[in-house]
Amino acid sequence: MAASTTQEPVKTQQKCVAIFALLCCFAVLLVLIFSSVDIWWDDEDGITEENCSRNCRIMLVENVPEDLYLPVEFRGHLSLSVGIRTLLNQAKQSVEVVSPVWNLKAQDVENVPSRDKEGRLLFQQLLSLKSRGVKLKIASSLTNSAELKTLAADSAEVHFVNMTALTRGRLQSSFMVVDRRHFYMGSADMDWRSFSKRKELGVLVYNCSCLALDLHRVFSFYWQLHDRDYIPSIWSKRVSALYGRHEALELQLNTTSATAYVSTSPDVFCPKDRTRDIEAIHQVIQSAQSFVFISVTDYLPLVNRSFRGTTVTRYWSLIDDVIREAVVLRRVRVRLLVSFWTKTHPLTFNFLTSLKSLCLYLHNCSLEVKFFRLREQKSGVQLGLNHNKYIVTDSAFYIGSHDWVGSDFALNAGVGLVVMMRNSLADGGATILEQMKGAFQRDWTSHYAKSLLGSKEEQRKSRNWKQEDVL
Ligand SMILES: *[C@@H]1O[C@H](CO)[C@@H](O)[C@H](O)[C@H]1NC(C)=O
Ligand SMILES: *[C@@H]1O[C@H](CO)[C@@H](O)[C@H](O)[C@H]1NC(C)=O
Ligand SMILES: *[C@@H]1O[C@H](CO)[C@@H](O)[C@H](O)[C@H]1NC(C)=O
Ligand SMILES: *[C@@H]1O[C@H](CO)[C@@H](O)[C@H](O)[C@H]1NC(C)=O
Ligand SMILES: *[C@@H]1O[C@H](CO)[C@@H](O)[C@H](O)[C@H]1NC(C)=O
Ligand SMILES: *[C@@H]1O[C@H](CO)[C@@H](O)[C@H](O)[C@H]1NC(C)=O
């Protein structure tokens, strides 16, 4: 009797311990799962997909260096520095910035007296956000930037994304989200050169919380990679895409109806439903009816892959393919404006010549290539580099962070914006497209744009031309 009464409590005690242990395991498991899935969320300011704004304003912003003699009428676009300054002045709560470079104050000012004036002003403006009660958040893959250290010491929250560990690439995206309502996207970095001596093109989008919210999610994606050395296999819902290739956001851009979405790269940086940059580029080129104008700094369809410790270089056809198809099978007119500068890879000429030769003996086939080139100054400073990265067609545009180099798409984190107009250029009313096309035509017809030399003899000349430049 006595034995059984003492045994009963012992048994229940054991049961309790077992259940408790199980519960503990379960709790630990839950914590583990959620810590890899979710970041501890700040809310999205009460703006949701249901009540966000799609009645947006869009402006083209450009930086055209003073040394470039381009027709005056096209300088009428809002200048990049004024545009960014106005955007930051709108901020009431938060500013989120991603940039591959933080170099707003020139280190080598002797070479370029006061050319970093705009960069310095922007840096001051970022520092002054705190006094207005605006939170500044920065995601970056830079480990040793003096400017980021200054900003972090002052007020900015900086999250480090170890791209070396994640993809062996760089964080190449460049954008700015203000109050999750307005944003900037374009070729300019947080680099003083972007505001003085480099040619840049981008867009400012105002009162557009739907699209800004999606871009904010791209930012959140980087944000939660802070100090991680692996990419989680399960993602929080808060970083998945709101819109994409198959489900684009329908919106108003000024007075025009359009659809839009944000794309990203590389593949491992694309959570569920996020369209990849390369798919976005395909869609924009494939949807063109009459023309595709492309302006990029570098064009090199090669990709470096690491294989058993050695680097193997392979042909990367993903963009070449879709251009060839558009030119030959759909007879879409293609113009490619590539920069000619000290870092132009010699094979660029071969790949572009090959593309061009596609139209030999074909009627209505048009693929033209030109190099945008400026003589360097005696000081060796590269002036007027065309740093643009966009495509404009008769019905859509794409602005991205990558040059058209295979390795960039494979390794570097980038972001792109696709806007497709309901009415094409031909139907009128597509103002932003007209402006972008105008900017392209201005560059294309300027005397800085030189045709790709065709014959062997001329190609040889172009090699010399290049060597001369490098030396
Ligand atoms: C949007 O909806 C959410 C929840 O449905 C609500 O909390 C928020 O206040 C709304 N925001 C606006 C600007 O109406
Ligand atoms: C980034 O990751 C690499 C590889 O895992 C590591 O060697 C490096 O120390 C990390 N960098 C920082 C700043 O943590
Ligand atoms: C955005 O909306 C606000 C309020 O509706 C308005 O005051 C402001 O002028 C708009 N901004 C632009 C650039 O249209
Ligand atoms: C591939 O790697 C080689 C050497 O590591 C380098 O010279 C070349 O520029 C790289 N190519 C690309 C496309 O990144
Ligand atoms: C080629 O151009 C001519 C006149 O420019 C046009 O009539 C014809 O339809 C075009 N053919 C194709 C296949 O686009
Ligand atoms: C859109 O509207 C804004 C402000 O109303 C204006 O500044 C901008 O130039 C317009 N954009 C286009 C492409 O017409």
Which run of H or E residues covers position 373? none
Q: What's the pLDDT at 100?
A: 96
The 8 Å CB, 24+ separation contacts for 266-270 are 266/167, 266/169, 266/409, 266/410, 266/411, 266/412, 266/413, 266/414, 268/166, 268/167, 268/231, 269/167, 269/221, 269/231, 269/413
Residue 230 CB less than 6 A away from ligand 2: no
Q: Is residue 4 one of the residues assigned to a domain?
A: no
pTM over 0.85: yes
Q: What's the pLDDT at 463?
A: 52
> Three-state DSSP class for 214?
helix
Residue 162 CB less than 6 A away from ligand 2: yes
Q: Is residue 73 one of the residues assigned to a domain?
A: yes
Q: What's the pLDDT at 32?
A: 53
For the cut 80, the answer to whether the pLDDT of residue 89 exceeds it is yes
Q: Is residue 296 one of the residues assigned to a domain?
A: yes
The domain in which residue 311 lies consists of 50-470
Count of domains observed in the chain: 1
Centroid of ligand 2 to alpha carbon of 335 (angstroms): 42
Question: Atom 1 in ligand 5: which residue has the minimum CA distance?
Answer: 364
Q: What's the pLDDT at 471?
A: 27
Q: Is residue 97 one of the residues assigned to a domain?
A: yes
Q: Is residue 36 one of the residues assigned to a domain?
A: no
Report the nearest atom of ligand 6 relative to the CA of 253.
1
More confident residue, 35 or 199: 199
Q: Where are the beta strands (DSSP E) in 22-115?
A: 55-63, 78-79, 94-98, 102-103
Give the mean pLDDT of 129-135: 96
What single-letter DSSP state applies at residue 193? G
Centroid of ligand 1 to alpha carbon of 180 (angstroms): 14
Judged by its nearest atom, the ligand closest to the C-alpha of residue 50 is 1
Residue 126 CB less than 6 A away from ligand 4: no
Centroid of ligand 1 to alpha carbon of 87 (angstroms): 24
Q: Please, which pLDDT band fits residue 70 given cuts at 50, 70 and 90?
A: confident
For the cut 50, the answer to whether the pLDDT of residue 470 exceeds it is no
> Three-state DSSP class for 54?
coil
Kindly list the protein residues whose Cβ atom lies closer than 6 A to any atom of ligand 5. 331, 363-364
> From residue 128, how far is each of 131, 156, 163 by CA, in Å?
6, 11, 29
Contact (CB, 8 A) for 156 and 132: no
Q: Is residue 40 one of the residues assigned to a domain?
A: no
Q: Is residue 239 one of the residues assigned to a domain?
A: yes
Question: Atom 4 in ligand 3: which residue has the minimum CA distance?
Answer: 207
We report the CATH number of the domain holding residue 265 as 3.30.870.10
Centroid of ligand 4 to alpha carbon of 305 (angstroms): 9
User: How far is 194 from 178, CA to CA, in rounded Å?
Assistant: 20
Q: Is residue 14 one of the residues assigned to a domain?
A: no
Percent of the chain with pLDDT over 70: 83
Question: Atom 8 in ligand 1: which residue has the minimum CA distance?
Answer: 46
